[in-house]
Structure 1
């Protein structure tokens, strides 16, 4: 085009401005070509970028990462194999300094989050995993008691899932779970043997985890019931106790200093006066507050001594008497205003009852040093426990639990009274250590233990001395951290507890990490972005506006020049 147009200008008869016209023609064609073709050059661009480190954890998605991200690290060798671009670190103490930390995946557990030491983070959570994301059961039961396994299953598939509780290679209970839903489940069985048994939970054919349970042979507790007058609550409780093999002695007042005694599953003896020797024959004493307040000075003194020195347990039922007592001192009773609420479920050690109960307006005001055992749905305490020397006192405002028996609800009735009686009962061996696993135990991972023992002897776990920290407020309580070397049953003095394999309850572990990391990220948000200046080499496009101006100028000159001839 440039050559053709230049030749046309050269052939024109009037040779005025010939050189300028040829230059204008060439420039116009060149500008038109530059508009049509991409014109760019290599250059460097200064940019401000976030200084960040990306920590990959289990469950992260490759698609969630930006190709431009460079400072990618992980503390998991498996992730390093899956994502070779990530740098493997030995521990969280090697995290880069002065950077914004972004965490991808399921996140970190509570011990790992504690190592961050309040470091602000941005959490990019993975989707909730498929499987059992929560499960709970009583790890220590008596022979003949039902084992309840409760939890929640997350099913994201379009198919139903069959959840099966197995024991000794036998299916014991199962439930079908609907598709595309998070569903609560409840499986139960009554074990036929005693000792240490490990049950398993399967979703179809996929193993979810192990369920270790210690089943102790039944040793009937000895219960003394004190009654001022016949009532339905005491009558039904006596029938339930005797029907479940408890040794029960009942002392009912006939008139002043005259009593009627009844003995079931135990030998008969004189109950007219409660001495220290008599009280030491029982594990738990049950009665109304008015009955305890009506004891003679000698009986009251013997009762105090039996509880404080010998570990006797008391279950005290509140009544309408206004007389104060040493038994009620830790349990001030208050009354809610307004109408008496309708019957509703109650919470027994955090477990919601299936049946409803009318719990009235009275409740126990919480005091430091007490442990609530039963609450209503308004979180008002209906039964609470407190230490008194080496024994325990349990105080309750419930007085109509017998309505559950009348309605055929034996399960909730059993759970309520077995909870209260077991909590109050005298320990067979006061010096025996009681162990509570505060965090799920996995082989090779640290587990936090809380141990209650009556002496200051060293803690011996799996035959080795383990350092512990004594609670300054509760002298017989100790805390320890231990790392099980192998999965399976672990021993602490005469107690046993269980450590899982790292693969056990994988979905529940992931759900716990998600929850813990979300909570941490919310409390430790990044308030200021750490930035850095970077120089980035890139192809820079020449703006087309310059070529449009050049084309317009050349064409304008050619038009004006030809117009000047006329």
Structure 2
């Protein structure tokens, strides 16, 4: 620091001497030019004696140490620029052949060859396997434009009979002409939506499947007379399985009467008990039911029960032991649907929900919409209670923005609370279809714990032949047979109640999956070209998310990068010093000639 201070003093004194000396001198070179030359000479001398640097961010030259990786979807303009400025490789065989760029054939060997080299990834991005191996590696991502067409599609892979199929999607339409997406069932249009031009627009399509078994629906995108995209929607429609239902009412009511009649039409086994007074009950049983509701309720009461429907007040009136028996049955997989009438919950399972009565009168009744975006007809309700859900609860029914039915997982079973208890009015108004859809939706989300069908989640969302597919199942740890071949299950690394298997499908189309002592189900393997835009968009999102999380894991390195500086070359200062000294020499030469 002392040396720097002394040099600064010396430079100031020298500059003052140059200014005064050039002021007294007479030359054809202007005075301002001579002073500037003197200042440049002093500055160049400073740069020669002391290293001067500038931030790396000021540099616009390409990073020669960075390796460009071109993936599928990389624009040709980006390839041309990157190839000229830096080294490049690609994971796409088409890019490799067209631009004569080295193709990465072994990802692990490639990373061993470039263990610390920063990567610049272009295109739709890398695969999950490749990203996992890049954890902690310096990487930048240059995302292309969104792919055209269906960039998102979600629908249930399995559906019980009489349940509507609801498909949620998103379509990217960059053209100046509006597009139309159409849902096809047996090659016939059943629903459609309009996509505005130059927009990425969400849509919802619905239909009611009429055929059991494996169904292959389609979603079509058209613009005028042109077909833009055609994708498959495989869905397995399961036949309705008769349930064993127990109903506990605080008092006889029309809601339970119509529910009992509807269950009997579906050939469900029903057992009904209504409290008449303290310690006195009325009972009714269907022919398919073998359950006894004699007091007190015990473990044998709910041993074969799939669904319990009860008033919260009746459940609270049960003894502590009976409530514990019911809770244990729910924990083992039985579904529980609670009617909450006055916003008060005091039973063992009812206390899981917070309900509050609304003082506003609903003279014109209320309308409801399900979480699946299904609207139901108006019901006359004089006073309405709503449910304040917590993060562990899932809303099922809404009135405007208020939740009137919600579900929560309890062990292996589900508990659903609902504040609407006069749905029978739809039946009286000859709206039996709405009544059936309403209760089918509630039953599907409540009585799911004891189903024998193997329910699964597949990864990736669109599996293809000869590529790894992971299936996560909530099923006991027993071997699963796929197309007759047994596969062992492994404990899921994150979810203790789930098991996982991995395999490589050999063909496209439907594949059977069988569980010992259980029913079989099916899953579908797509062609490589199916849902390509959605797969590309998902890869882009995964790539962007990975880069963001990866940068958070390396904060110190990011700060160091922001502090990186490049040193100004010495030859530049030497050149400036020669130019400035030449100007001063020429000016002094002119002065000497004038004096002589």
Instruction: Name the TM-score, length of structure 1 as normaliser.
Output: 0.71
1:291 correspondence with 2:314: yes
Which of 339, 359, 363 pairs up with 2:388?
Answer: 363
**Structure 2 counterpart of 1:314:** 336
Q: Assess if the C-alpha contact under 8 Å between 2:404 and 2:418 holds in 1.
A: no
**Structure 2 counterpart of 1:209:** 231
Q: Measure how far apart 1:161 and its partner are.
A: 1.7
Which of 335, 352, 356 pairs up with 1:332?
Answer: 352
Inter-CA distance 338–306: structure 2 relative to 1 (3 Å threshold) = closer
**Structure 2 counterpart of 1:498:** 524
Q: Assess if the C-alpha contact under 8 Å between 2:248 and 2:273 holds in 1.
A: yes
1:482 correspondence with 2:482: no
Q: Assess if the C-alpha contact under 8 Å between 2:386 and 2:403 holds in 1.
A: no
Give 3-state SS (helix, strand or coil) of 1:68's partner. helix
Which of 206, 213, 230 pairs up with 1:195?
Answer: 213
**Structure 2 counterpart of 1:35:** none
Q: Assess if the C-alpha contact under 8 Å between 1:364 and 1:381 holds in 2.
A: no
Give 3-state SS (helix, strand or coil) of 1:126's partner. coil
Q: Report 1:8-27 matches (<5 A).
A: none
- Larger RCO, structures 1/2 (Cα 8 Å, 6+ apart): 1
Give 3-state SS (helix, strand or coil) of 2:467's partner. coil
**Structure 2 counterpart of 1:120:** 138
Q: Which moved more, 1:508-517 or 1:444-453?
A: 444-453
Give 3-state SS (helix, strand or coil) of 2:146's partner. coil
Distance 2:361 2:127 in 1: 42
**Structure 2 counterpart of 1:462:** 483
Q: Measure how far apart 1:314 and its partner are.
A: 2.4
Give 3-state SS (helix, strand or coil) of 2:84's partner. coil
Which of 533, 556, 559 pairs up with 1:507?
Answer: 533
Distance 2:324 2:491 in 1: 32
Distance 1:437 1:281 in 2: 31
Give 3-state SS (helix, strand or coil) of 1:518's partner. helix
Inter-CA distance 87–395: structure 2 relative to 1 (3 Å threshold) = closer
Q: Report 1:514-529 matches (<5 A).
A: 514-525=540-551, 527=558, 528-529=560-561
Q: Measure how far apart 1:58 and its partner are.
A: 1.5
Q: Assess if the C-alpha contact under 8 Å between 2:143 and 2:540 holds in 1.
A: yes
1:159 correspondence with 2:177: yes
**Structure 2 counterpart of 1:82:** 98
Distance 2:421 2:534 in 1: 39
Give 3-state SS (helix, strand or coil) of 2:182's partner. strand
Give 3-state SS (helix, strand or coil) of 2:444's partner. helix
Q: Measure how far apart 1:57 and its partner are.
A: 1.3
Q: Measure how far apart 1:438 and its partner are.
A: 4.7
1:399 correspondence with 2:403: no
Distance 2:323 2:583 in 1: 109
Q: Report 1:416-565 matches (<5 A).
A: 417-425=439-447, 433-443=454-464, 444-454=466-476, 456-471=477-492, 477-493=498-514, 494-525=520-551, 527=558, 528-529=560-561
Q: Measure how far apart 1:308 and its partner are.
A: 6.4
Give 3-state SS (helix, strand or coil) of 2:411's partner. strand
Distance 1:150 1:410 in 2: 26
**Structure 2 counterpart of 1:51:** 65
Q: Assess if the C-alpha contact under 8 Å between 1:122 and 1:521 holds in 2.
A: yes
Distance 2:318 2:237 in 1: 39
Per-residue deviation, residues 279-311 of structure 1 (Å, max 9, x unmatched): 5675312011221233468976875676567x5
Distance 1:397 1:242 in 2: 22
**Structure 2 counterpart of 1:72:** 88
Q: Assess if the C-alpha contact under 8 Å between 2:181 and 2:219 holds in 1.
A: yes
Question: How many residues in Structure 1 have an aligned counterpart in Structure 2?
Answer: 500
**Structure 1 counterpart of 2:18:** none
**Structure 1 counterpart of 2:55:** none
Per-residue deviation, residues 4-57 of structure 1 (Å, max 9, x unmatched): xxxxxxxxxxxxxxxxxxxxxxxxxxxxxxxxxxxxxxxxxxx99452111111
Q: Measure how far apart 1:135 and its partner are.
A: 1.1
Distance 1:132 1:326 in 2: 47
Give 3-state SS (helix, strand or coil) of 1:79's partner. helix
Q: Measure how far apart 1:114 and its partner are.
A: 1.8
Distance 1:69 1:458 in 2: 54
Distance 1:51 1:263 in 2: 79
Instruction: Name the TM-score, length of structure 2 as normaliser.
Output: 0.68
Q: Report 1:368-379 matches (<5 A).
A: 372=394, 374=396
Inter-CA distance 346–122: structure 2 relative to 1 (3 Å threshold) = farther
Distance 1:122 1:306 in 2: 53
Give 3-state SS (helix, strand or coil) of 2:101's partner. coil
**Structure 2 counterpart of 1:387:** 411
Higher helix proportion (structure 1 or 2): 2
Q: Assess if the C-alpha contact under 8 Å between 2:323 and 2:348 holds in 1.
A: no
